[in-house]
Amino acid sequence: MVLLATAFLLSKLLAPAFLLTPEHLDPPTPDPEPSLNVKFDPRTMTLAWDCKENTTSGRCTMLLKEEDRVVKKPRKKECWCNFEDTPLHRGVLLEVQVNTSERSFREKVLYSNPGGEGTAARNFSCVIYDVDFMNCSWAKGAAAPGDVQYFLYIRDSKRKRERECPRYVQHLGTHVGCHLRNLSGLTFRNYFLLNGTSRTVGIQFFDSILSTKEIERYSPPANISVLCNASHCVIRWDKPRTRRALSHSEFQYQLDIQRKVILTQPDTIDVSGDLENQYHFPSSEPRATHVVRIRAADARIPDWSPWSRPVEFGERVGRHVGKGCVRLVGSGVFTLSLCLRRFLGVHRLFPPIPQIKDKLSENHQVGDPVGHRRGWLDLCPAQCASPW
């Protein structure tokens, strides 16, 4: 802010047009030069000025921090420029340049955050979760008085809709968060304004532009299944549901596979979304009981979803498969041990394996000697695994 104010003063001193404005002229000069009378409206991000006759060209500049500048050209005959939504809480310097056939105008205006330094809310962040919910949170400004109250407004990028937070989270009566259950009004990019009131001092605002993609935390991958042969287990899953439909390559995953009895080091396996949501886990028989959990993130931003429910696979030595499990015995080579209990989507777990014949048999138990199990496919979805 200090920097900007200095810049403002300097530019005032240096800009030739300013040297001609009334306050810089000596008293005897009769006809004060007309000024543009530039005005900035932060709500609509519009910079406007008094129209000048015979205007040949014009230019609007928004100067953010040090080097950041946005330049706009007003349309013919229009005496205003409209900027995209931009965070303004650090202040901005705006400049209008207008050339007419007779002369050239150049005028600046500083827009600064009103209120006491350090009173604005800080540590503002938002997260979208489970597709349809959003939580935002913030903390009181260090210099904010005890009676401060904050208000959050969210505006879509088309500025069609501005709404106040429908449900605040409070701490000792102060709003410190917001919970939204209906995100239908959000566009890809949204403007968040956090302003405040107090009886003793002006409260500065904080504002930020957040894209829904940046702040969405994915749900864990769904429908995890494990399919094993003698040497490998293929773990498959569905990509998480997201606000926008995304291709496989937009995701990355982490698998956490552990032996159930001997707790091994947490050693996660990274899997790119390009691999179509499957992982071939080398694990030869006899195979101990394992559990796998999976989490997901955007391929570029490792902001991980929570872990999925653990899914158990492998032998379950000394245990019997629960009631309701059906065993499909193949042509003496492959056997599918299938748990149907409470598992609705079980048919999805049947990839087209040509070797399998639809023959039911009671001859093979899961606890059978190793020799009998060689070459079996042991398929047991999460819902059968008892401890969870």
Residue 200 in contact with residue 241, Cβ under 8 Å?
A: no
The position carrying tokens 């609509």 is 44
**Bridging pattern class, strands 174-180 and 133-139:** antiparallel
User: What distance in Å separates the CA atoms of residue 294 and residue 222, rounded to the nearest whole number?
Assistant: 9
In the complex, minimum distance from the CB of residue 18 to ligand NAG, in angstroms, rounded to a whole number: 15
Angle CA(290)–CA(294)–CA(298) in degrees, nearest 5?
A: 160
Task: In angstroms, give the least distance from the CB of 43 to ligand NAG.
Answer: 6
Q: In terms of CB distance, is 16 or 30 closer to ligand NAG? A: 16
- Rounded-to-integer distance, Cα 91 and Cα 7, Å: 12
User: Nearest distance from residue 314's CB to ligand NAG, in Å?
Assistant: 14
The whole-angstrom separation of Cα 367 and Cα 79 is 84
Nearest residue (CB) to ligand NAG, 166 versus 367? 166
Q: Which residues lie near ligand NAG (CB under 6 A)? A: 43, 53-54, 57-59, 97, 99, 101-102, 104, 122-123, 129, 135, 139, 151, 153, 169, 179, 182, 184-185, 193, 195, 197, 222-223, 229-232, 234, 238, 241, 280, 345, 348
Instruction: State in angstroms the smallest separation of the CB of 181 from ligand NAG.
Output: 7
Q: How far is the CB of 106 from ligand NAG (least distance, A)?
A: 8
Q: Which is nearer to ligand NAG, 181 or 300 (CB)?
A: 181
Our CB check for ligand NAG shows the closer of 6 and 288 to be 288
- Could you tell me if residue 143 is left (phi over 0), alpha (psi between -120 and 50 degrees) or otherwise beta? alpha
Distances 118 to 144, 151, 352 between C-alpha atoms, Å = 7, 16, 64
Nearer to ligand NAG, 151 or 304 (CB): 151
| Shortest separation between residue 320's beta carbon and ligand NAG, angstroms | 26
- Residues 32 and 54: their CA atoms lie apart, in Å, by 19
- The single residue listed with the structure tokens 């999976």 is 294
Q: Closer to ligand NAG at the Cβ: 169 or 269?
A: 169
Residue matched to tokens 């989507």 = 345
